Amino acid sequence: MLPELHSVLELLEHGFGELKILVVGDIMLDRYILGEVERISPEAPVPVLRHAQRYERPGGAANVAMNLAGLGCQTLLAGFWGADAEQGELVKLLEAAKIDTVGVVSSSLPTISKTRIMAKTQQILRLDIESRDKAPMAESERLEARAVELVTKVHAVILSDYAKGVLTDKVCEAIIRAARMAGVPVLVDPKTKDFSKYSGATTVCPNLNELSLATGVPAHQTAELLAAARVQMTEHDFKFLTVTMSEKGITVLGPEGDFHSPARAREVYDVSGAGDTVIAVLAAALAGGLQTRTAVELANLAAGIVVGKVGTVPIAQHELISALTPSSGITSGEKILDWERVQRRVTEWRAAGETVVFTNGCFDLLHVGHITLLEECRRFGSKLVLGLNADASICRLKGPSRPIVGERERARVMAALASVDAVVLFEEDTPLELIQVLKPDVLVKGGDYSIETVVGHEDVIGRGGRVEIVPIVEGFSTTNIVRKLTTPAEEHQTT
């Protein structure tokens, strides 16, 4: 179970949208050319790729920004790009993701691009376009000034260093100094053997090879490497050090002790971009007020999702929400949602490819008929939302003696069932308005109904969904239970 799950879900569903995060670093364009190899060229001993698809994605620091945007954060980007076709492609992609490029400086150098040629999922060649020259001093000073100005307007800063010349010692020092004065955390993804340029940062997030380069300790000597890392943390005044350890997960070294978060990936297709995802989620979580352990666990979960994809693909809100809300994995209290939150969650589930089922009822005294209905509902999809009549609604429908169990207690009981993914109360006599808001893929009703008599059937079917009828379990109802409880014992004996 993820620590602070309630706070995490609150952030994912609407809290991240309040956060502004600045990414400063080496901006790139990642281009992918995909196809199939069926033969070797007669001209040279090289494979011949039959072109099938081509697409572009923001890379480097721009991919970090895309991860933040995928979480819903207000994202600002600073760095260099040239006046070329690659810059035009990046502008379109970043604008579509609503990433603010106010901190980006036009450079005399070309926009960095990396073209990966892929045979299905296997990379067979990479073509890099970049200059070995340093950016002119005037351009670097302009970038520094813009970044320092933006630091005071954000909740966190990420330095995404790909060692391409943007994050000079002077630029890093100025940004970290400004951030510390403003009380803004700074997280660094390093690509240098000298961590002193990041002194004063909140955390540095190296992988094992990067940490080995910085300490001189071989990457396979894990214990010695982490001990050397702790020395680096103290020398350079890092609040804590975050070490990504590939298939082993993430280890955090901190002043109050170390902890390890095991890897969560089920199947690894491509690790490119995983580090960008980790630092983006970590920064957003810390900016959102989560504890360090919670932030690391969430970042680890996100990394496990993106390495299951091919290419540099950022994380998305709906993927994390879907991963965090299996019915058996969260507490009952986390499933009880108001209308706004259940609408957000349904939207995220659907974006993640889930099939959303809706059913409703009073569920006053839980019995085997209810359990059967809910278990049958789950057969029609992957997420079940239960609309629960509020007390006032039941009183109007069934009389002043009902409900027997109050709405808060009923909601808690229903949310405790493994078959139920979300519970939402409605005050109206019917759930029609709720159905229109949630737009479920499948509407299920138990009892002697026909599809035409189910409330909301026209809306669901009109959107391409379907309605299912589950037969009732004979002899089981709340009314029968109440009757049995209120009938004198001698009458039970005579019947």
Check whether 46 has a pLDDT greater than 80.
yes
**254 domain-assigned:** yes
Check whether 328 has a pLDDT greater than 60.
no
Average the pLDDT over 135-144 and give the result: 96
- CATH number, domain containing residue 373: 3.40.50.620
For 53-80, what is each residue's pLDDT tens digit? 999 999 999 999 999 999 999 999 999 9
Feature table: binding site: 207-210
Do residues 358 and 320 share a domain? no
268, 302, 324 — which closes off a domain?
Answer: 324
**Of 284-298, 338-352, 452-466, the least confident:** 338-352
Do residues 59 and 139 share a domain? yes
**37 domain-assigned:** yes
Do residues 101 and 54 share a domain? yes
Enumerate long-range contacts of 217-221, CB under 8 Å, 24 or more apart: none
Check whether 267 has a pLDDT greater than 70.
no
Count of domains observed in the chain:
2
441 is catalytic: no
Q: Amino acid identity, residue 161?
A: D
Burial of 37 (0-12, 13-18, 19+ CB in 10 A): middle
Q: Write down the pLDDT at residue 386.
A: 96
Under the banding of pLDDT at 50, 70 and 90, the label for residue 477 is low
Strand ranges in 152-258 using DSSP code E only, listed in sequence order:
156-160, 186-189, 203-204, 240-244, 250-253
Q: Write down the pLDDT at residue 401.
A: 85
d(C-alpha 312, C-alpha 56), whole Å: 10
Quote the domain boundaries for residue 391. Answer: 336-484
Do residues 73 and 172 share a domain? yes
Sheet holding 112-119, edge to edge: 47-60, 27-40, 112-119, 122-129
Feature table: binding site for ATP: 207-210
Q: Taking all residues of the chain, what is their mean pLDDT, rounded to a whole number? A: 90
324, 353, 371 — which closes off a domain?
Answer: 324
Check whether 495 has a pLDDT greater than 50.
no
Q: Write down the pLDDT at residue 1.
A: 60
296, 324, 352 — which closes off a domain?
Answer: 324
If one compares 377 and 369, the residue with the highest pLDDT of the two is 377
If one compares 487 and 165, the residue with the highest pLDDT of the two is 165
Under the banding of pLDDT at 50, 70 and 90, the label for residue 391 is very high
Under the banding of pLDDT at 50, 70 and 90, the label for residue 327 is low
Do residues 364 and 460 share a domain? yes
For 80-101, what is each residue's pLDDT tens digit? 999 999 999 999 999 999 999 9
- CATH number, domain containing residue 191: 3.40.1190.20
**Of 10-19, 107-116, 388-397, the least confident:** 10-19
Under the banding of pLDDT at 50, 70 and 90, the label for residue 321 is confident
Helix (H) or strand (E) holding 149: helix 137-151
Do residues 358 and 298 share a domain? no
Do residues 17 and 147 share a domain? yes
d(C-alpha 413, C-alpha 421), whole Å: 13
Distances from the Cα of 71 to the Cα of 133, 302, 323, angstroms: 35, 10, 14
**371 domain-assigned:** yes
Check whether 175 has a pLDDT greater than 50.
yes
d(C-alpha 112, C-alpha 376), whole Å: 54
Q: Write down the pLDDT at residue 307.
A: 81
User: Which sign does the torsion angle of CA 412, 417, 423, 427 carry?
Assistant: negative
Alpha helix ranges (H) inside 288-429 = 292-306, 317-324, 332-335, 339-351, 368-378, 391-398, 407-415
**353 domain-assigned:** yes
For 270-293, what is each residue's pLDDT tens digit? 566 788 999 999 999 999 999 999
**47-60 and 27-40: which strand pairing?**
antiparallel
If one compares 213 and 479, the residue with the highest pLDDT of the two is 213
Task: Identify the active-site residue in 26, 100, 189, 276.
Answer: 276
Do residues 13 and 133 share a domain? yes
The answer, yes or no, to whether the previous bond of 471 is cis (omega within 30 of 0) is no
Do residues 310 and 434 share a domain? no
**465 domain-assigned:** yes
Check whether 168 has a pLDDT greater than 70.
yes
Q: What angle do CA 314, 317, 318 make, to 5 degrees?
A: 110
User: What backbone phi and psi angles, to 5 degrees, belong to 102?
Assistant: -60, -25
Q: Write down the pLDDT at residue 194.
A: 92
Q: Tell me which DSSP letter residue 122 carries.
A: E
Enumerate long-range contacts of 454-462, CB under 8 Å, 24 or more apart: 455/430, 455/431, 456/430, 456/431, 456/432, 459/432, 459/435, 460/435
Check whether 197 has a pLDDT greater than 90.
yes
Q: Write down the pLDDT at residue 269.
A: 56
Distances from the Cα of 374 to the Cα of 14, 288, 301, 390, 470, angstroms: 29, 36, 30, 19, 9
Residue 483 falls in which region: left (phi positive, over 0), alpha (psi -120 to 50) or beta = alpha
Q: Are 437 and 385 contacting, i.e. CB atoms less than 8 angstroms apart?
A: no
Check whether 407 has a pLDDT greater than 80.
yes
CA 223 from chain centre, in angstroms, equals: 31
Burial of 290 (0-12, 13-18, 19+ CB in 10 A): buried
Do residues 283 and 385 share a domain? no
Q: Which of the listed ranges 3-17, 27-41, 340-354 does the model predict with the highest average pLDDT?
A: 27-41
Q: Which two tokens stand for residue 201?
A: 């940062």
Token pair 């499948």 is found at 442
Residue in 342, 302, 344 with CA at minimum distance from that of residue 324:
302
